[in-house]
Amino acid sequence: MSPVEPRLPKGMRDVLPQQMVLRQHVLSILEEVFAQFGFEPLITPAVELEEILLGKGGSESEKLIFNVEHVGGKERLALRYDLTVPLSRVVGQYPDLPKPFRRYQIAPVWRAERPQKGRYREFYQCDADIVGSASMLADAEIIAMIYTILRRLGFEQFVTLINDRKLLAGLGQYSGVPADQVPVLHRTIDKLDKIGADGVREELGKAGLSLPSVDRLLQMMRPVDGAAADLQALRQELKDIPSAVEGIDELSELVGYLPALGVDPDCYRIDLAMVRGLDYYTGPIYETVVEKPRIGSITGGGRFDGLVGRFSNKNYPATGTTVGIERILDVMEELQMLPPGMGQTSVQVLVTLFGDTLQNESLKLLTELRLAGLRCELYYSPDPIGTQIRYALKKGIPFVVIAGPDELAQGKVALRDLRTREQVLVERKSAASALERSLNAACS
């Protein structure tokens, strides 16, 4: 009988142990920073009732939903395609949760999209949201948290672009675009950095907008550095459009909090041409782009004051962000941003095995090292020492403890550092502490 051909569904992948080393490192930093900012973890099921997932974000995102079936099933089930909708359900379902409710969630989501570089049909989302506060302090904290996360991960050249939906709506009004054409306007100016001012002018002209108003818009799309004077000028220009003024005031307040939160001014910028696709955003929106390799956005979020209202008589203002871990991992691999000392395995020590009579000595030593908290693997057959060392090398294990007849006869073991090729003979009893010292030294 021929074996079943081992393969994966389209757009899905395995994460092998070697890749898990970096992934777990990144995830642990994320969880740490989320916790530092006062967010608490939440788990919701991968499967939701279909009615929970449908009816948001227009029919576009609904086409991407995976349905779940089982024989005799009476419920219409589907896999979640983001973490924001489940969050909204939770807030609606447990009205007693103290507000503001701040939760983070790191979990896979599924979208039946056509796969591409950095885009998969199953991927992890890392969301942190604050529900139940309309304060710009919440938005400022989200941006400060993004900044902290990326710095902790070792990113240097990144910018969080900030804009506001109310301001964008005002710009639509300002340009004289009919209400039903505003989405087209927004989608087009979002492409400003890609197709340039001429491209935008051309596309909007085709869409039937008058060229003078397009030019007035483009004039306004110049970078805004967030300085009070700059925002004031913009406010003056748009003073007759209440929505725009409201948006500018929000941005101005939000940006005003960032210095005290320790955010480097080079790492954020108000960008009137940044839109974001989802239509449920109602206030400030943010998106972080890495500038060195043009990989696109690695975080995205904003304020969504209307979403929870779908699941409750009461509506709650909310804001938050998604951290795109899959893209972050791609960028970190491309830029070789591995922390020092990080190898291809989490195993720290290989314990050698010699002849049958010494086997129990290896087992005892192994157990001692494990009790001391070291991650240890035992070599299973009494092969020549060279073979055992080569195995450790191939697997990327940094240290080998050689417990051979010569060493044990003196009550000692040899510790070999495979990266420096240095080998020391230590008392058997102090093997664990000596190894811990060496490992700490190697990682610093």
Q: Which residues bind RNA (CB under 7 A)?
A: 8, 10-11, 57, 60-61, 82, 111, 113-121, 123, 125, 187, 191, 194, 276-278, 296-300, 322, 324, 326-327, 354-355, 382, 384-387, 389-390, 393-396, 402, 404-407, 414, 416-421, 423
Question: Which C-beta is closer to RNA: that of 170 or that of 300?
Answer: 300
Q: Kindly state the DSSP code that residue 349 receives in the 8-state scheme.
A: E
Question: Which C-beta is closer to RNA: that of 68 or that of 393?
Answer: 393
Question: Which C-beta is closer to RNA: that of 183 or that of 256?
Answer: 183
Contact (CB, 8 A) for 345 and 395: yes
Closest CB 385 distance from RNA, rounded Å: 4
CA 116/CA 91 separation, integer angstroms: 34
Inter-helix orientation angle 228-237/242-257, to 10°:
170
Question: Which C-beta is closer to RNA: that of 67 or that of 387?
Answer: 387
Any residues with CB less than 8 A from the CB of 140 and at least 6 apart, and which?
Answer: 254, 255, 257, 258, 261
Closest CB 228 distance from RNA, rounded Å: 30
Report strand pairing: 158-164 vs 284-290.
antiparallel
Question: Which C-beta is closer to RNA: that of 387 or that of 430?
Answer: 387
Closest CB 380 distance from RNA, rounded Å: 13
Closest CB 155 distance from RNA, rounded Å: 14
For 320, list phi and psi in degrees, rounded to 5.
Answer: 175, -175
Closest CB 241 distance from RNA, rounded Å: 24
CA 303/CA 285 separation, integer angstroms: 6
CA 76/CA 54 separation, integer angstroms: 11
Q: What is the three-class DSSP state of 126? A: strand
Question: Which C-beta is closer to RNA: that of 29 or that of 418?
Answer: 418
Question: Which C-beta is closer to RNA: that of 68 or that of 418?
Answer: 418
Closest CB 41 distance from RNA, rounded Å: 19
Closest CB 246 distance from RNA, rounded Å: 23
Inter-helix orientation angle 182-190/165-174, to 10°:
110
Question: Which C-beta is closer to RNA: that of 76 or that of 419?
Answer: 419
End-to-end CA distance of the chain: 53
Closest CB 294 distance from RNA, rounded Å: 9
Question: Which C-beta is closer to RNA: that of 116 or that of 313?
Answer: 116
Q: What residues pair up with 164 in beta bridges, in sequence order? A: 284
Question: Which C-beta is closer to RNA: that of 365 or that of 414?
Answer: 414
Closest CB 327 distance from RNA, rounded Å: 5
CA 142/CA 109 separation, integer angstroms: 22
Structure tokens at 403: 């417990």
Amino acid at 235: R
Question: Which C-beta is closer to RNA: that of 277 or that of 306?
Answer: 277
Closest CB 261 distance from RNA, rounded Å: 22
> In 10 A of CB 186, how many CB atoms?
20
Closest CB 72 distance from RNA, rounded Å: 28
Question: Which C-beta is closer to RNA: that of 373 or that of 405?
Answer: 405
Contact (CB, 8 A) for 111 and 97: no
Q: CB under 8 Å, gap of 24 or more: what pairs does 134-141 form?
A: 134/305, 134/317, 136/250, 136/253, 136/254, 136/257, 136/284, 137/257, 138/100, 138/319, 139/250, 139/254, 139/283, 139/284, 139/286, 139/303, 139/319, 140/254, 140/255, 140/257, 140/258, 140/261, 141/37, 141/261
Closest CB 151 distance from RNA, rounded Å: 18
Whole-number Cα distances in Å, 214 to 118, 211, 330, 380:
34, 5, 37, 73
